[in-house]
Amino acid sequence: MSFILEVKNLTKRFGALKAVNGLSFRVRQGTISALIGPNGSGKSTTFNLITGHLKPDSGTILFEGHHLEGLPAEEIARLGIARTFQTPQIFTHLTVLENVLLSVYQRKRPGLLSSLLRLPNFFKKEKEAQEEAFVYLERFFLADEAHRPAEGLPLGKLRHLELARALALKPKLLLLDEAASGLDPREKIDLAEALTSLPQEGITLFWVEHDLNLLMEVAEEVIVLDQGEKIAEGPPREIQRNPRVIQVYLGEEHA
Ligand SMILES: Nc1ncnc2c1ncn2[C@@H]1O[C@H](COP(=O)(O)OP(=O)(O)OP(=O)(O)O)[C@@H](O)[C@H]1O
């Protein structure tokens, strides 16, 4: 199996702090891989470097052989990387359906002229886009809420909506930044069920999550960070009994 993402010697400093320090790892295509570590260990910074929201000081990031370092976030998204955020990024003044439609349009980029003139082709494309958006809404249990404003949705629904938006971009790699945070146990199970089938559809998941029990259930490979450095990597069963990982997490509990 090939690697969809290869990170080598990645470093990001904020002043004197090395938030990510000489980090190297690879993510296999078609898997669920997890990135874990205590608070402040560099997980979100790593995600931000991969998606172009931050520029690395040094190191390389290869996505399907393309160098990502230095590329703008929009270009990286176009190559096939989508993400979700710790705080869901939703257009609250738009309806649930419109939020997902934006992603569908972003991918399809219908001809501007045909949209402006509302040519017959425009209405056909509009209908197709709506049908497509509903596929994602149904997948994340949002079809009944399609026409209500996103504002006021409970957190669980907002997380689902953000996932629907991300998947409507048809990414090859989806980075999940605490997608289960704030969800109740039932919602977490629904979320895990909706996400674990994605690798069979060719979508690779790279997942940061504080709920380690959830990740250990779904991930095939786990990378562990501490103070910006990789301290362990391997299948969940090995990671759970790795003395260094246990020490770091015990240290966090007693902090
Ligand atoms: N924009 C920034 N400016 C300055 N320091 C930052 C910035 N972003 C992150 N940091 C610092 O870099 C370190 C790594 O932060 P990061 O958010 O990547 O960790 P994390 O593992 O995602 O943490 P958490 O689990 O709490 O979300 C922390 O010490 C943090 O305070």
Q: Break the chain into its structural domains and give their ranges.
A: 3-89+171-254, 91-152
Cα–Cα distance for residue pair 184/145, rounded to 1 Å: 20
Q: How far is the CA of 228 from the centre of ligand 1 (A)?
A: 9
Residue nearest to atom 2 of ligand 1 (CA): 14
Residues 191-220: what's their mean pLDDT?
Answer: 92
Atom from ligand 1 closest to the CA of residue 54: 1
Reduced 3-state DSSP string for the chain: CCEEEEEEEEEEEECCEEEEEEEEEEEECCCEEEEECCCCCCHHHHHHHHCCCCCCCEEEEEECCEECCCCCHHHHHHHCEEECCCCCCCCCCCEHHHHHHHHHHHHHCCCHHHHHHCCHHHHHHHHHHHHHHHHHHHHCCCHHHCCCECCCCCHHHHHHHHHHHHHCCCCCEEEEECCCCCCCHHHHHHHHHHHHCHHHHCCEEEEECCCHHHHHHHCCEEEEEECCEEEEEECHHHHHCCHHHHHHHHHHHHC
Closest CA to 208 of 235, 176, 239, 241: 176
End-to-end CA distance of the chain: 40
User: Beta strand 81-83 with 173-177: parallel, antiparallel or unpaired?
Assistant: parallel
Residue nearest to atom 31 of ligand 1 (CA): 40
Q: What is the pTM of this model?
A: 0.91
Name the residue type at position 135. V
ipTM > 0.85, yes or no = yes
Residue 112 Cα, ligand 1 centroid: separation in angstroms? 40
Question: From the CA of 2, how far away is ligand 1's center (Å)?
Answer: 30
Q: Classify domain 3-89+171-254 at the CATH class level.
A: alpha beta
**pLDDT attached to residue 106:** 84
> What Cα–Cα distance (Å) separates residue 193 from each residue in 1, 75, 131, 136?
24, 30, 23, 14
Let me know: does 49 contact 60? Beta carbons within 8 Å: no
Taking Cα atoms as reference points, which of 233, 180, 250, 242 lies closest to residue 211?
180
For ligand 1, atom 30: residue with the closest CA: 40
pLDDT of residue 128: 86
> Parallel, antiparallel, or unpaired: how do β-strands 58-63 and 32-36 relate?
unpaired
Residues whose CB is less than 8 angstroms from the CB of residue 118 and which lie 6 or more positions away in sequence, other chains included:
none
pLDDT tens-digit map of 174-188: 999 999 988 889 888
Pocket of ligand 1 (CB under 6 A): 14, 17, 19, 37, 39-45
Mean pLDDT of 13-25: 97
CA 12 to ligand 1 centroid distance, Å: 11
How far apart are the C-alpha atoms of 228 and 155, rounded to whole Å?
29
Share the mean pLDDT of the chain. Answer: 91
Name the residue with the closest Cα to ligand 1, atom 16.
42
Quick check: 21 pLDDT over 60? Answer: yes
Closest C-alpha to ligand 1, atom 18: 42
Report the nearest-CA residue for atom 3 of ligand 1: 14
pLDDT tens by residue, 31-84:
999 999 999 999 999 999 999 999 999 999 999 999 999 899 999 999 999 999
19 C-alpha to center of ligand 1: Å? Answer: 6
Q: What is the pLDDT of residue 207?
A: 96
Residue of the nearest CA to atom 17 in ligand 1? 44
Place 132 in a pLDDT band, splitting at 50, 70 and 90: very high
Percentage of residues in the chain with pLDDT exceeding 90?
75
40 CA to middle of ligand 1, Å? 5
- Atom in ligand 1 nearest the alpha carbon of residue 210: 25
